[in-house]
A and B are shown apart, each in its own frame.
Chain A
Amino acid sequence: MAAVPQTLEPVKLGSGYNTPWWASALKWGLIAAALALAAYVVQRLVANGSWLGVVITAFILLCILAVYATRRAIPMKYLLPGLILLVSLQIWPIVYTVATAFTNYGQGHTLSKQEAIDINVANSVKEVEGSERFKLSIAVPEGGDVATADLAFLLTKPDGSTYVGTKKGLEPLPADGVEKTDTGKITKAPGYTILNAREANKRSADLKAFAVPVSDTAGIKSVGISAAFQGAPTLKYDAAADTMTDTSVTPNVVYSPKNAYFTAPDGKTLATGWKENVGTKNFKTLLTNETIRAGFLKIFLWNVAFAAISVLSTFLLGMLLALLFNDPKLKGKGFYRSLLILPYAIPGFVTALVWASMFNQEFGLVNTLTHLNVDWLGNAWAAKAAILITNLWLGFPYMFLVCTGALQSIPSDVKEAAKIDGAGPFRTLRSITMPLLLVAVGPLLIASFAFNFNNFSLIYLLTQGGPFQSGDTSIGSTDLLITYAFRLAFSGASPNIGLASAVCIFIFFIVALMSYSGFRRTAQLEEVN
C-alpha cells in the first residue's frame, strides 16, 4: 500500500476496493456531527457578537469538510487535528502573550478609553446637597407600549405632594384620581400606565440614560423601582480638549490623559484608566530598571542551578532505584515498585504543603527527628536545600518509572556480550547500560529541565520565593524567574499584566535556547550509537 503512488489511490479505491458500509456511515455521521456542532457554536458566537469567532469556526469547518469529505489531501487527514490543537493551544497563547506585552493591560487598564470616560462620569454622580428623596413609580403615558414608550416618573415628595417627571422636566401632578400606598408610592394616576417590577426592569437600559432635568446639570434619576434622587455628575468630559473637569471643587480641577489615566496637574488620577498600546515600554522597563537588573542575575543563577540539580538528583535516585528493582533476583518487585510510585500519585501541591509544615523550625518533623535546629524556611541556603529535597521527593518516582521502562527495553544480549568480553558490572553499567539508557531518557531530561525551570507552584507553596533579605521583598532567596515575574507584576498598587507578559517572553527565549542546545546534545548521543 505504502508503495503505491498517491495519485493512483482514488482510482484503486473507486474500482476494486470496497469501503465497508459502516465506515462510510461513520465518516458521514461524524462529518454531520461536526457540522451540527459548528452550527451550534456559531449560533452561540453570534449571540455573543463575537464575529471573529464565527469566522474562525467557519474556517475550521471548511478545513474539515475539504479534508475529510473529499478523497484528496490524504496526509492532511492525519495532520489536521494536530494542527488545530497546535494553533489553538500553543501558537495562539504565544501570539496573545506577545500582543499583551506591548500594552499596559492590567488592573485599572482593562477598558477602552471611551468606556473609561463613561464609567468615570457615571461614578461621579452625587446627590445634590440638601435635595429631597422622592418615592417613585415608573410609568408610561396611557396607551403607550410599556416596552418602548417614553418614560415618565410619578414622584411623591416627603411632604406628600406629587409630580410627574419626563425628559422635558418636572411638573406637578394633580391629586385628582391619584392613589398612593402608605409610604407614598403612587399606584394609580390618570393618564399613565404604571410599570410593574418586571416591565420596569426590562427598561433598565433606558432608565440608565433617563433623567428628569431640573437644572443645567442636575436631574432626577431612579434608584431601583421605588425611589428617586436628584443627582448630578461632578465630572465633565470635554471631547474637543480630551480632558475631564471636576466641578465639585473650586477652582475646578482639569484632568488630562497621561499614562492611560486622567491625571490632574498635582499627579492625582481618576480611578478608572484605559488599555492602550505602550510600544516597547515594558521591555525597556525590564532592561533598564535598577532593582530588576540587580536581581535578575542572582535569580537566574539560582534558577539554572535549581533546575539542573533537580533534574540530576531525581534522575540519579530514580535510575539507581530502577537498576536495583530491575534485578531479576529480587522478589516482590511489583510491591516495591508501587510503593515507590506513591509520591508521584499524591497531588504535588499537597506534598509541597506537607513538606512546608515538616520543615517548620519549631514544630516540624524534620528538625524533631534529626534533633537539628535549622531554620529551614527562614535561612537563604537552608531554604534552597529544603526546596531541592522536596523536589527530589516529588520528582524521583517519575524518573524511576521512565528508567525502569527504558532498562527493560535494553536487550540482554548486549549485556551478555559485555560479560563475555570480561566487563564487570560497573563497567557494563558505564559503557553499555548508561549510554543506551540516556538515548531513551535524554529528551525527557530536557523536558524535565524545562518544567523545573518554571516550577512555579513548588516555590510558591513552600517559600513564596522567600526568605527575603535586607528590606527588599521584591527579590527572594529562592525565587525563580517565574515567581519573580509574578511578584513583579502583581506586587505594585496595580497588577500589570503587560509587564508580566514581557517577562514571560524573556523566560520563553531562555528556556528555548537551553532546550535547543540540550536537544543538540542528545542528537549527538544518538549518532554515537
Chain B
Amino acid sequence: MHKRALGAAALTSAAALVLAGCGSSGSTTSSSASAGNTASASESASASESASASETAAPEEVDAKDPSRADADLVIWADANRAPILTTYAQQFADENGVTVAVQIAAETRKQFGDATKVGKGPDIVVGAHDWLGELVQNGTVAPIQLDDATAAKFAPAAVAASKFDGQNYGVPFSVENIALVRNTDMAPDAPATMDDLLKAAKAAKAKDPKISVLLDQPVGKTGNAYYTYPWLSAFGGGIFALKDNGDYDADKVIVNSPEAIKGAEQLAKMGKDKVLSTNVGDDNSEGIFTGGKAPFFITGPWSIPNIKKAGINYGISPLPSLTGGDAMQPFLGIQLFYVSSKAKNATLAQEFVTNYVPTKEFQLAMFEAGGRPPALTEAYEEVAAADPDVKAWYEAGKDGKPMPNIPAMNSVWGPLGQAAADVIAGKAEPKARFDAAQKEIVANIKKAS
C-alpha cells in the first residue's frame, strides 16, 4: 500500500518531468526549439493597454523562454514603450491591405531576436538600435532592404548612413538620439558655449549654493565609459575608427591614440585634476546627482528627461560646449531602425511595411509620441521641432555628430577606451601613455577575433 501510493506520487512528478525532459532536449540543436508547450499560457499575458479605441489588440509580451510567433500575416517585435503606439499604426497598415498584424513586446529584444530567428521562430520585423547591425549581419539574421534613393533622401543623412553595413542597407530609421548638455536653469541660466564658460558658471553657482558638489555631472565610473569619452576626443578631430572612402568605419584603423585624440585625453586629465570630472560619478548615480540639485550641468541624453521633470528641475538643453584649443564636442548618434528578419515568414509584407509605411510623416510622428526622440524623417522632424523646443535642442546638439560605429569591432573598444579615460581622470596615468596602451589593447582584441 505504502509503496503503491509513493509510486503514484512519483508518477505525478514523472508526468511533469516529461515536459522538462523534452524542453531541454529541444535545445539540443538550438536554444528553445521545442519548449513551446510550456509557454503558451504566459504568452497571452498582455503587457500594456493599447492607446487606440479600435479593435486593435494590446501588444502581447514575448515569453523569454519561448518567443514563438503570434499567428498573423505580419509579426513585429518592439520594446514596451513603443509597442502600444506601433500597434495602432500597424493596424492601419493591416486594414489598408486586408491582412492581420501582431505587435509583440520583446523585453530583451536583441538577444531574443537572435535566439528566436536562429530556430525560425523570430518575428518578421524587429525594432532596434543601429549599433546592433554588425552583429545581426554577421549572424545572418537580417535581410537587406532596398530603399530607393528618393525615399532615402527624405531622411537625415546620418540616419541613412547608420542603416548601412558594407555598403548594403539593412534598416529604415525612425529616430535619432544623442547626448547633450542639460543645465539646471535656476543655477545656470545661460547655455555655455565653451568649457571655460561652463566652469565659470558652475563655480559661480557653487559659490551661491553650497549643496552643489559636482561642477560637471558626466558618468565616468571606476571602469570608465567610452560613450561619454568620445565627445572629448572628437572636439579636436579625434575619434575611434578612421573612415573608409565610402564613409564606413574602418576596423583596421583604430585612432584612439592619434595626436587629436590625445589632446582630448589631456583635457580629461585636466578635468580630473581640477575635480570637475570624477570616477565617483557613474551610470548609477549621475542622474540622482543632477535631480538632487547637486550639479548645475549634466551631460546626458533624452532618457534622463522624464526623471528630471519628475524632480521638478527647471532645465535647458544645449549643444555640448567647445574645448579650449578645439571645436565643439560631438556626441555619438544612436539611430532606431526597423529591421526585416532574414528568416521572415512574411517577407513580402515586411518589406512593404518598412519601405512604404515607415518612411511616412504620419508614422514617424506617431513613433515620436512613443519615444520622444527626434524623428529621423526630415519632414516629420521639422514639424515636431516647431512645436517642441526640447526636440530641436537635442537635434541641434547632435547635428554634426556621427553615428556610433555599427561594426562588430566596436565591441573591442568599450572596455579599453572607457578604462583609459577613467584612469586618466583619476590621475592614475599620463594621457599619452595610457591612450597608447588602450590603442594597443583594442587592436589586439580586434585581431583576436578574426
**9-residue interface stretch from B231-239, B299-307, B342-350, B361-369:** B342-350
- B7 and A68 contact, CB distance less than 8 A: yes
Does B54 lie at the interface of the complex (its beta carbon under 8 Å from any beta carbon of A)? no
CB distance from B277 to the nearest CB of A (A): 12
**Beta-carbon nearest neighbor of B20 in chain A:** A88
Does B28 lie at the interface of the complex (its beta carbon under 8 Å from any beta carbon of A)? yes
Would you give 22 A-B contacts (Cβ < 8 Å), ordered by A?
A: A1-B3, A23-B1, A26-B8, A33-B15, A45-B26, A52-B25, A64-B15, A84-B20, A89-B20, A108-B408, A122-B144, A123-B144, A197-B99, A198-B99, A204-B346, A223-B355, A225-B97, A271-B165, A377-B222, A378-B222, A472-B437, A473-B419
What residues of A have a CB within 8 angstroms of the CB of B166 in the complex?
123, 271
CB distance from B18 to the nearest CB of A (A): 5
State the interface size on chain B (CB cutoff 8 A): 98
Bound-complex Cα distance A229 to B146 (A): 8
Known A-B contacts A200-B348, A223-B146, A493-B412; A56 and B15 likewise in contact (beta carbons under 8 Å): no
**9-residue interface stretch from A111-119, A299-307, A407-415:** A111-119
Does B45 lie at the interface of the complex (its beta carbon under 8 Å from any beta carbon of A)? no
Does B52 lie at the interface of the complex (its beta carbon under 8 Å from any beta carbon of A)? no
Known A-B contacts A41-B34, A272-B138, A471-B429; A78 and B98 likewise in contact (beta carbons under 8 Å): no
Known A-B contacts A34-B15, A78-B6, A201-B99; A56 and B21 likewise in contact (beta carbons under 8 Å): yes
- B415 and A473 contact, CB distance less than 8 A: yes
What residues of B have a CB within 8 angstroms of the CB of A223 in the complex?
145-146, 351-352, 355
> What 20 new A-B contacts, CB under 8 Å, besides A116-B140, A223-B351, A271-B138?
A34-B14, A34-B15, A41-B18, A48-B33, A48-B36, A50-B34, A53-B22, A53-B28, A64-B11, A68-B10, A80-B14, A89-B20, A111-B139, A224-B351, A224-B355, A353-B284, A471-B433, A490-B411, A491-B412, A492-B446
Name, among B15, B165, B345, the residue most crowded by chain A CB atoms within 10 Å (CB to CB): B15
Bound-complex Cα distance A224 to B24 (A): 38
Does B137 lie at the interface of the complex (its beta carbon under 8 Å from any beta carbon of A)? yes
Does B5 lie at the interface of the complex (its beta carbon under 8 Å from any beta carbon of A)? yes
**9-residue interface stretch from A425-433, A437-445, A462-470:** A462-470
Bound-complex Cα distance A271 to B438 (A): 26
Known A-B contacts A74-B3, A204-B346, A224-B356; A34 and B437 likewise in contact (beta carbons under 8 Å): no
Does B143 lie at the interface of the complex (its beta carbon under 8 Å from any beta carbon of A)? yes
Q: Given B8, B19, B73, B411, which contacts A493 in the complex, CB threshold below 8 Å? A: B411
- B4 and A197 contact, CB distance less than 8 A: no
Does B135 lie at the interface of the complex (its beta carbon under 8 Å from any beta carbon of A)? yes
Known A-B contacts A23-B8, A357-B284; A107 and B34 likewise in contact (beta carbons under 8 Å): no
Known A-B contacts A204-B348, A494-B408; A17 and B419 likewise in contact (beta carbons under 8 Å): no
Bound-complex Cα distance A392 to B248 (A): 50
Bound-complex Cα distance A127 to B279 (A): 49
- A491 and B348 contact, CB distance less than 8 A: no
Residues of chain A whose beta carbon lies under 8 Å from any beta carbon of chain B:
1, 17, 19-20, 23, 26-27, 30-31, 33-34, 37-38, 40-41, 44-45, 48, 50, 52-53, 56-57, 60-61, 64, 68, 74, 77-78, 80-81, 84-85, 87-89, 92-93, 96, 107-108, 110-111, 115-116, 119, 122-127, 133, 196-198, 200-201, 203-204, 207-208, 221-227, 229, 231, 259, 261, 267, 269, 271-273, 353, 356-357, 360-363, 377-378, 463-464, 466-468, 470-474, 487, 490-496
What residues of B have a CB within 8 angstroms of the CB of A362 in the complex?
213, 278, 280-281
Q: Given B29, B348, B411, which contacts A225 in the complex, CB threshold below 8 Å? A: B348
CB distance from A90 to the nearest CB of B (A): 10
Known A-B contacts A225-B348, A360-B280; A56 and B22 likewise in contact (beta carbons under 8 Å): yes
Bound-complex Cα distance A356 to B36 (A): 39
- A78 and B20 contact, CB distance less than 8 A: no
Kindly supply a per-residue 1/0 record for chain B positions 255-294, scoring 1 wherever the CB is within 8 Å of any chain A CB and 0 otherwise.
Answer: 0000000000000000000000011110011000100000
- B415 and A491 contact, CB distance less than 8 A: yes
Q: Given B6, B25, B411, which contacts A57 in the complex, CB threshold below 8 Å? A: B25
What residues of A have a CB within 8 angstroms of the CB of B7 in the complex?
27, 68, 77-78
Bound-complex Cα distance A356 to B345 (A): 46
What residues of A have a CB within 8 angstroms of the CB of B408 in the complex?
107-108, 493-494
Bound-complex Cα distance A56 to B22 (A): 7
Known A-B contacts A204-B344, A492-B445; A50 and B29 likewise in contact (beta carbons under 8 Å): yes
Name, among A133, A221, A353, A487, the residue most crowded by chain B CB atoms within 10 Å (CB to CB): A133
- B148 and A133 contact, CB distance less than 8 A: yes
Does B310 lie at the interface of the complex (its beta carbon under 8 Å from any beta carbon of A)? no
Q: Given A60, A196, A261, which contacts B98 in the complex, CB threshold below 8 Å? A: A196
